[in-house]
Structure 1
Amino acid sequence: MKAKPSAKESAKKIFIFVAIILVCSFVFLAIEQGYLGLFLFFLAIAISVVLTFLYFIYFSFFYRWARWGLAVVTVITAAFLIRIYWNEIESRAIDYYSDITLPNKYKNYKYLEEIAHYAENGKTISYLSEREKGFYSLVFLNDKNELIYSRDKGGEEYLLKYNTQGNIIDSLTIRTNYERATFVGNYFLNINNNYYNTWAIDGDTLSKPITYLKETDDWDTPKRKEFLEKTLNTADYLYLTEINKYTNTNDSIQSAKDGAKVFFQKNNQWMYFYIPIEALDYYEEDYYGGKILSKGKNIDLIESFYKKATVKETHKRGMIRPKYVSYKGYLYTDVVVDNVTFHIKEYRGYYAYDYIMKETTSYFSNKTESLEDFSGIRIYSNKNLQYKLFTNVEKRMYIIK
């Protein structure tokens, strides 16, 4: 009978080789501390595991202990890999279970994230701005009930105007060069360079200068404060904003002694002046934490509506009718507008089925407007508009017409 190969001698050689490559790769990792060091270290570990497997596989043909060793190494390696890839394994298992248990009637529901237009029986739900895939910075109604859409792209302001039928009737791109700008009433104000335009109400794109009240240079702080309080009561629009000498180059001289800049409109004329920030008894904060004070500044249409609406909560469904939540976390909903039903789905996260179908629907309303809200899915209606607005993602809006 042929003699069995020596396992001890082979084990010694493998141990020495593995020790050398692990020590060398670890030392290189300690010195390099970069991606190359990590790659070489994990490569050394992988080589060590492979050599260990090959060792036990080979000697399992000759020795029982090698077969037991192979089993142990296999179990340990499998447990290690399962631990590393557990989230992926769990995710795939949930996806599979969710797919095979999903009722057939929900398999053709539309995922709005993947389509620009969804038509059903003469009605369409589509991005409010196809170019921006529905994302917006500000949406509001002007005095003619025309919808103004604004998207700040960092360096430019992209604007759209919709008539009451929901059709785009005008568009404008304003190069702001990262300067601060805002809408106050029907006016677009450039905060840095002191000009405005009236495009939002009359389509005029001409930039008109805002007059500086030079006489205020001679006023002390109490007089400026008194003038501000009077102007708040008498001006049609007012917007006060904190200025920063490092970002507003045109205001750098003033910002050394004054902390705020005040724009106001009176008798159809826009003017501005400066005032020390410490003179303000009250103020609001903008998105970046800066101090502001406003009269007539436009805020998001829905946010503005919430402030002047009454609300009722109930489990009775209206236009938004949740139907099913999959184990994967997709919410399947029927949206019914003027007897036309849109079948949509959206991702809500794993285990959403535990709570989401139990949520109430909130109905907001005033004399002209109404809004239905179920779990962040919202439909806005206005008696002056022949379309509805739909949103299910923060700062993303669709139009239904």
Structure 2
Amino acid sequence: MKTPKKRWMVIILVLSLIYLIGNSVSIYRNIELLFQHLPEEYINYSNLYSLDDAFSNSTLETDKFKSIYNEQVVWVNDSLIAITVHTKDSLTDKTNVSWYKINLKGELMDSITFRNEYVDNIDSYLINQDKNYYSTWLMDGDVTQKPFRLIEGGKLLEKEEADVYLKDAVYSNSDYFYENRNDFENEKRFKKHVVYKHNEWFQFYTKDDLQLTVNRYYSNSDLEFKDIGELVYFYKKDWYGDHFPDFTLYINGKDPDHWTGTSFLNLKIKDEILKIQHYSKKYVDDSARKMPLDVYEGLNQNFYILKMEIDNGHTFYLIK
């Protein structure tokens, strides 16, 4: 007959075996990490968020643009593209927006900044719907703020009249405006509709409860950015995989088994290779999570635009 002590030893041994078998893959993966080392050839790769250092040791010419928001790079016309950048004004804590025009040789041609204004680009126009103006600066360099044409002198249009102006519009949007605001007894609310149609900008007014179909989701054609970097090495740091026992409910889904570590990327730009490293994941099928970095190649590969996602914004490098 087994003594209580021996019974407990058998139970502990059985549980230990079950634990070891259930976690054999995880144990093996973690032991494997103890025997790896970073090859010397990857020691001097530049961190993704410190690319200024990489370019400082390069013959490539670069211009850097940093935005606090995710931005598009868009075609303006057959000879120009534009980069949009939002920044915080250090003195006023307001948001400024700038546009940079680049020709198809990769040369920075001009720029314009609007301070503490909500200005958007629709087609090749810059518009401010709050202040009721548009600008043709993207097309011709004219900084004049041209007013939207006011329909019917500001008369409130009925639905049938409004639908005529909205029909076939490339872009339209609506917002409320007030008369006698902050005067509770006399305050009145109306709708202002801004419309882009047949290369013309105009606005008209309706009652605030009039429901009209608008086409506010217009966007310019974004340039085609690609992931052209070559992943040459992945340095594994930690293993994350199934373990036993597992009491996790995975309410928000389960990330596949993977390592975390550092991806080492070779990015060929013209005749140079940028060597970049970045914290990343690698899965058991040998695929690695994509770096937050994409590249647009000029038509004749005479210039490049490198786009990086950083926090909630973008950093661009114009490379010649």
Q: Show the counterpart of 1:337.
A: 269
Question: Following superposition of structure 1 onto structure 2, how do residues 1-400 of structure 1 map, counting pairs within 5 Å?
Answer: 101-116=37-52, 118-119=54-55, 122-124=59-61, 126=62, 128-129=64-65, 132=66, 137-153=71-87, 154-175=94-115, 177=116, 179-214=117-152, 217-229=155-167, 231-232=168-169, 237-243=170-176, 256-258=189-191, 261-266=193-198, 269-275=200-206, 279-281=211-213, 292-294=216-218, 297-298=219-220, 301-302=222-223, 305=224, 319-328=228-237, 329-348=261-280, 352-355=281-284, 357-358=286-287, 376-383=292-299, 386-393=302-309, 395-400=314-319
Counterpart-to-counterpart distance in 2, 1:200 and 1:245: 32
Gaps of 5+ in 2: 1-29, 88-93, 238-260
Kindly state the Cα deviation for residue 186 of structure 1 after the two structures are TM-superposed.
1.4
Q: RMSD of aligned C-alpha atoms?
A: 3.8
Kindly state the Cα deviation for residue 244 of structure 1 after the two structures are TM-superposed.
6.4
Whether contact under 8 Å (1:195, 1:209) holds in the other structure is yes
Counterpart-to-counterpart distance in 1, 2:162 and 2:49: 51
Kindly state the Cα deviation for residue 166 of structure 1 after the two structures are TM-superposed.
1.7
Counterpart-to-counterpart distance in 2, 1:382 and 1:127: 15
Moved more, 189-198 or 379-388: 379-388
Kindly state the Cα deviation for residue 335 of structure 1 after the two structures are TM-superposed.
0.9
Gaps of 5+ in 1: 1-93, 284-291, 312-317, 361-373
Letter of the 2:229 partner, please give it.
I
Kindly state the Cα deviation for residue 213 of structure 1 after the two structures are TM-superposed.
0.8
Decide whether aligned partners of structure 1 residues 277 and 101 sit closer, same or farther in structure 2, where only a CA change above 3 A counts. Answer: farther
Counterpart-to-counterpart distance in 1, 2:212 and 2:103: 40
- The two structures have a TM-score, normalised by structure 2, of 0.64
Kindly state the Cα deviation for residue 395 of structure 1 after the two structures are TM-superposed.
2.8
Kindly state the Cα deviation for residue 181 of structure 1 after the two structures are TM-superposed.
2.1
Moved more, 192-201 or 113-122: 113-122
Whether contact under 8 Å (1:242, 1:277) holds in the other structure is no
Decide whether aligned partners of structure 1 residues 110 and 359 sit closer, same or farther in structure 2, where only a CA change above 3 A counts. Answer: closer
Query: Hey, which of these two has a bigger chunk of strand by percent?
Result: 2
Letter of the 1:139 partner, please give it.
V
Kindly state the Cα deviation for residue 387 of structure 1 after the two structures are TM-superposed.
1.2
User: What is the percent sequence identity of the aligned residues?
Assistant: 18
Letter of the 2:267 partner, please give it.
V
Whether contact under 8 Å (1:319, 1:337) holds in the other structure is no
Kindly state the Cα deviation for residue 212 of structure 1 after the two structures are TM-superposed.
1.0
Decide whether aligned partners of structure 1 residues 255 and 381 sit closer, same or farther in structure 2, where only a CA change above 3 A counts. Answer: farther
* Larger RCO (CA within 8 A; separation ≥ 6): 2
Decide whether aligned partners of structure 1 residues 135 and 181 sit closer, same or farther in structure 2, where only a CA change above 3 A counts. Answer: closer
Counterpart-to-counterpart distance in 1, 2:291 and 2:48: 16
Whether contact under 8 Å (2:166, 2:172) holds in the other structure is no
Rg larger in structure? 1
Q: Show the counterpart of 1:45.
A: none
Q: Give 3-state SS (helix, strand or coil) of 2:77's partner.
A: coil
Decide whether aligned partners of structure 1 residues 261 and 218 sit closer, same or farther in structure 2, where only a CA change above 3 A counts. Answer: closer
Decide whether aligned partners of structure 1 residues 256 and 218 sit closer, same or farther in structure 2, where only a CA change above 3 A counts. Answer: closer
Kindly state the Cα deviation for residue 216 of structure 1 after the two structures are TM-superposed.
6.3
